[in-house]
Amino acid sequence: MNKNFSSTNFFLISFFVLIFPFIQKQWFNLYLFNINSSSFYSIIYYLSGIICPVIFAFNSLNHFTYYKFNSLINKEKKIISGKKLFVLVLLILISLSFLIVNYFLVNIELAIKLFHNQSFLIRVKVDHEIYILFIVSLFLILNKTKILIKKLILFNFILTAFFIWYAQINNNIVDGNYLINKYLITGNPNFVNLAFLFLFEIKFFLWSFLSNKNNLSDWIVPKPLKKDYLNLLRIIIFYFLLLVYYFLIGQ
């Protein structure tokens, strides 16, 4: 089911985002006292880099995956159908599939460069890319595989956050030479990783709305209600908090 944010949940996440970066910095200071040997604080500091991504990934899975929309259609309710729906479906489905494929490829490239210190620009031939996009689009149409893709994307986000954290601790520079930074002009690769996930989240919501229940089989989609727009607002607030966390931890 779709579990909406409660005020308590929002307060706890906000409090965590504001406090946890300062706790991490204290762990870092304690870690520096034993930088040449393993200690409890060095281990906990290394692990702290994925605590926040894991928490946010689970929240995303719980709150922004199993959407419920009002599918009732009556004469007074405005609908989207015909050519407008066809263009909208193609636009959302293809752009979402393209984003998913590129998100995985970008992060694979990042991992190769970090752990093998080599550059393997992942180039997929046009015909192969079309096949991959077609397969991903097919998975998005099917509800069970759509949820599976969402879980894989969240796992990809956590894994990439860990790679970036590992690089920063070991003074490996993730700069403009890395494929990941070609998608956003910023000195913080965490913002790039977050931008990919945020765009996926928005597009996933739009696709969930279009493909809800029998919408596509009936080729009629009711126009969104005010409460549907609230879901978008919740997503924006949710990722703004994560952006604040990465901003604080980077100071």
Domain with 163, as residue range(s), is: 7-249
Give which of 216, 226, 227, 224 is closest to 85, Cα–Cα. 216
Q: Does residue 1 belong to any structural domain of this protein?
A: no
Which residues, in sequence order, are bridge partners of residue 220? Answer: 81
Q: Does residue 11 belong to any structural domain of this protein?
A: yes
Q: Does residue 242 belong to any structural domain of this protein?
A: yes
Q: Does residue 184 belong to any structural domain of this protein?
A: yes
CA distance 54 to 245: 13
Neighbour count for residue 186 (Cβ, 10 Å):
11
pTM over 0.75: yes
| Phi, psi of 81, rounded to the nearest 5 degrees | -155, 180
Which tokens hold the place of 15?
């409090």
What residues contact residue 70 under an 8 Å CB cut-off, 6+ apart?
A: 222, 225
Q: Which residues of the chain have pLDDT under 70?
A: 1-6, 33-39, 71-77, 117-127, 172-187, 251
Whole-number pLDDT of residue 176: 47
Whole-number pLDDT of residue 45: 79
Q: Does residue 238 belong to any structural domain of this protein?
A: yes
What does the chain come to in residues?
251
Count up the domains in the chain and report the number.
1
Please give the DSSP secondary-structure letter assigned to residue 183: G
Whole-number pLDDT of residue 69: 83
Cβ-count burial of 88 within 10 angstroms (0-12 exposed, 13-18 middle, 19+ buried)?
A: middle
Give which of 34, 37, 51, 36 is closest to 162, Cα–Cα. 51
Whole-number pLDDT of residue 98: 92
Where do the DSSP E strands lie in 37-123?
79-81
Please give the DSSP secondary-structure letter assigned to residue 77: S
CA distance 100 to 149: 9
| Per-residue pLDDT reduced to its tens digit, 92-150 | 999 999 999 989 888 887 777 777 766 555 555 556 778 889 999 999 999 889 999 99
Q: Does residue 199 belong to any structural domain of this protein?
A: yes
Whole-number pLDDT of residue 3: 47
Whole-number pLDDT of residue 90: 94
Q: Does residue 2 belong to any structural domain of this protein?
A: no
Query: 59 and 16 in contact (C-beta within 8 Å)?
Result: no
Q: Does residue 38 belong to any structural domain of this protein?
A: yes
What residues contact residue 49 under an 8 Å CB cut-off, 6+ apart?
A: 24, 161, 162, 165, 166, 169
